[in-house]
Amino acid sequence: MPQVLLDLPEDTYQRLKEQAQLTHLSIQELLRRQIIRDFGFSINTARQAKQIAEEWLHAHAGLLLKAGRPTFEEEKQVWRIPVITNVRSREPDLVGEVHIDAQTGHLFESEDTMEMLEKARKSYGLSRIKAEQQSRLNELLELNRTRKLTTQEEEELDLLIQQAQEQTDANIEKLANVLSTRPKPLV
């Protein structure tokens, strides 16, 4: 795909940056979509549709999810892209679908992103600390922001943080074993 380099006034760049943050898009994707809307270009290949879906999924789900094979719904002029788990050790699981308007390039979800992520979490076998533990952890963290914790509260907070960290470590290990694209190690 050809690339264009733009020189923009600082205030224009800052407005674009703010809009990109609000829409959870990169500045490049925001500009690309605006140009498509303004000039009436359409998303006319499965490859284009999949690239838009992949960029959106990466921004909203990191490496957990990826786009499947797009299909075009002629009647509605919409690309339907399945959202699947990003695994290498087995067949991926379908967790949702996104649609892309072929005329505007606008992506919209058929399911809530959080629902798709929850389905993926279950598919990967990831677990969470119990709801009551998470609630108590949140409560103690909030108390810690507003006042000094008692010794007993500090000990309880330390234990809950340790349990949450152990759960996170176990989930990271599970993910490292199933993701198609391994994350680069942090230095």
pLDDT tens digits along 8-64: 899 989 999 998 898 888 888 888 777 766 665 578 788 999 999 999 998 888 888
Name the residue with tokens 């991926």: 92
Residue 183 reports pLDDT greater than 80: no
Q: Nearest 5°: CA angle at 70, between 36 and 30? A: 30
pLDDT tens digits along 168-177: 888 888 877 7
C-alpha to C-alpha distance for 107 and 127, rounded to whole angstroms: 30
Residue 186 reports pLDDT greater than 80: no
What was the pLDDT predicted at 40? 58
pLDDT tens digits along 100-159: 988 888 888 777 888 888 888 888 888 888 889 989 999 999 999 999 999 999 999 999
